[in-house]
Amino acid sequence: MNSSSNNIFLIGLMGAGKSTVGKLLAKKLGRRFLDADHVIEDRCGVKIPVIFEMEGEDGFRKREAQAIKDITAEPDVILATGGGAVLLPENRQFLSERGTVIYLHANPMELWHRTKGGEGRPLLKSGDAKKILENLYASRDPLYREIADYVIETGKPSVNQLVNTLIMQLELSA
């Protein structure tokens, strides 16, 4: 864990609750919250699905890498990354070196229930969403764990309980 930074980075698959947890955590800690996908959309002037449609996943990942490089260099930020942010080694390096990384873990079945409909989730539009989530989990879970300072189960507690537990853990490790 990088104690020289007060940054907190939330990682996990789509539907894990990164944005929801991040907003509440930022409010309780009096910090600025950023969602990497929203930063990318603001920079491009279009929604993520349009970027995927026009530039493909590779084009999106390049934009995401630049956003992560820029955001992680800022002080006192709480960042919710996109689920695939960990795919690029440089993103994993920036996240692990520039703050505390929290992996919001949920199993694929739970994520499937949370993301039914797949609105705004281009990767779920290309086939059986349940199978896609299982495959994403299998390939990304080891990458999340590689850089995580904390792994937090998101299934049982309320968001408020989860955030309070997270704050206690962060305070204990400070």
| Separation CA 147–CA 149 (nearest Å) | 7
* Three-class secondary structure of residue 45 per DSSP: coil
Strand-pair category, 8-11 with 77-80: parallel
pLDDT, one tens digit for every residue, the chain (174 residues): 444 468 999 999 888 889 999 999 999 999 999 999 999 999 999 998 899 889 998 999 999 999 999 999 999 999 999 999 999 999 999 999 999 999 999 888 888 877 775 555 666 667 777 888 899 899 999 999 999 999 998 877 789 999 999 999 899 887
Whole-model pTM over 0.85 = yes
